[in-house]
Amino acid sequence: MPNSLRFRSAQTVFVLAITQLIGWGTTFDMLGVMGRIVAPDLGMANEVAFAGLTIMMLVSAIVGPATGRWLGRYGAARVLSAASLTFALGLCLLAAADGVILYAAAWIVIGVGGALGLSAPAYTAVVEREGMNGKRVIAILMLFTGLSSAIFWPILSLLNEAVGWRLTFLICAGLQFFVCLPLHLFALPRPIAGHVDSATADIAPVPLSKAAQRKAFLLIAAATTLTTFVTFGISPSLLEIFRQSGATPAFALQLGSARGVLGISARFLDMLLGRRGNPVLSAAMGIGLMLMSFLMMLAAGPSTPLLVIFVVLYGFGSGVMTVARALLPLAVFSPREFGLQSARLSLPQNLANAIAPVVFTAILDRAGTGPALFAAAILAALSLTFVLMLMALMRGARASRPSPAVS
């Protein structure tokens, strides 16, 4: 790769890593520190405060398909800039909240910002600048975004102790307006014409008919939504699963921390594979590891070695699937279609994000670990089936491609 292109790729990663870290850290991750601080001051129960995340995910799901059209019409840089402004407004509303109505309104605005600025639009910005070679850059970017809570939780905690939660939210709004907005407007490299504006941008990696493309989209949507439902449902209850399986609170916390490290390690592996990686194979491997972890816990009695093996399998599998979920549209659709298809996929995925924690918490509290893991295993098995069907569809399309004429 020429040095100029390497510099552009590094600049793209630098800009989007900063803005995505701030984007996730000041919105979705923020309530992990601030939720129980804000709730009593506003006269709300803790669960009402945390319902802000549910509102955010639901609104993001509803706005997601429209985001895909805006990405195609205006480009990722403008959409991401609009997200920075929207986030800043929502955080200012949070700082001014005096009750549940304004609090909920703030999360509605933040939800719109999430659709415009988190994940899919950032990955679209990469594909606009890298084309089919964007897999490695997206994997690198996801390494940084996976650290958002680890970076922002201590920062938010220190800010709250120093200036209180209202000024903390205003500082977060300032980061969106004075850091993210200028970076999106002025520091993000322009799309390279050779990547996006040429005819190759319309060439899909697999020669699928329109009907087969619709089937592929549905298979990707089903597989990614189910795995999203499992991972977002299991993650908040992971410590409780460990405790119900016999782990001490301290050991449960160690296992939970190890799961996060393994997830980041899986993203690092995808980064190393780069353009040689296959998102469909990665998805099958990630879901397979998750399924193995659930079945193992169901088949064997709880023990310390079993919990360690479970964390290794589930942590690595879910980390691999996180990257594969972002890259799957690039395995089927052309670079020009990536933003639209990714935004369309965000609708069912964000709905799953919104309801999964409630469903899994209810199962765990009312029926215990066994039924919760059984439900997760069934969903993972279904998801793996859909990925295998996608692989068969793609293999059939490649096999039916006419052989080049021999002169």
> HEC profile for the chain?
CCHHHHHHHHHHHHHHHHHHHHHHHCCCCCHHHHHHHHHHHCCCCHHHHHHHHHHHHHHHHHHHHHHHHHHHHHCHHHHHHHHHHHHHHHHHHHHHCCCHHHHHHHHHHHHHHHHHHCCHHHHHHHHHHHHHHHHHHHHHHHHHHCCHHHHHHHHHHHHHHHHCHHHHHHHHHHHHHHHHHHHHHHHCCCCCHHHHCCHHHHCCCCCCCHHHHHHHHHHHHHHHHHHHHHHHHHHHHHHHHHHHCCCCHHHHHHHHHHHHHHHHHHHHHHHHHHHHCCHHHHHHHHHHHHHHHHHHHHHCCCCHHHHHHHHHHHHHHHHHHHHHHHHHHHHHCCHHHHHHHHHHHHHHHHHHHHHHHHHHHHHHHHHCHHHHHHHHHHHHHHHHHHHHHHHHHHHHHHHCCCCCCCC
Reference 123, options 241, 20, 222; nearest CA is 20
Q: Rounded distance, CA 241 to CA 370, Å?
A: 9
Nearest Cα to Cα of residue 91 among 12, 27, 179: 27
List the pLDDT tens digit at each of the 407 positions of the chain. Answer: 555 667 788 899 999 999 999 999 999 889 878 988 999 999 998 878 888 988 998 999 999 989 999 998 999 999 999 999 999 999 999 999 999 999 999 999 999 999 999 988 999 999 888 876 777 788 788 877 777 877 888 899 999 999 999 999 999 999 999 999 999 999 999 886 544 444 455 666 777 888 888 999 999 999 999 999 999 888 777 878 888 888 888 888 788 777 777 777 777 766 666 556 688 998 999 999 999 999 999 987 778 888 999 999 998 899 889 888 888 988 888 888 888 888 899 889 989 888 888 888 888 888 888 999 999 999 999 999 999 999 999 888 777 765 554 44
The predicted structure's pLDDT at residue 330: 84
19/117 Cα distance (integer angstroms): 9
What tokens were used for 326?
Answer: 């972002």
Phi-psi sector, 118: left (phi>0), alpha (psi -120 to 50), beta: beta
Residues 229 and 398: their CA atoms lie apart, in Å, by 31
Cα 315 from Cα 404, distance rounded (Å):
44
Give CA torsion, residues 235, 377, 284, 145, to 10 deg: -10
**What global pTM score does this model have?**
0.81
* Axis crossing angle, helix 304-332 with helix 369-399, rounded to the nearest 10: 30
Q: What is the pLDDT of residue 284?
A: 94
- Domains defined along the chain, listed by start: 3-199 (1.20.1250.20), 206-398 (1.20.1250.20)
Q: Kindly tell me the sign of the dihedral angle through the C-alpha atoms of 378, 383, 388, 389.
A: positive
Please report the pLDDT score of residue 199 as a whole number. 47
Nearest partner of 8 among 232, 196, 234, judged by Cα: 196
Do the Cβ atoms of 285 and 278 come closer than 8 Å?
no
Distance from the Cα of residue 107 to its chain's centroid: 18
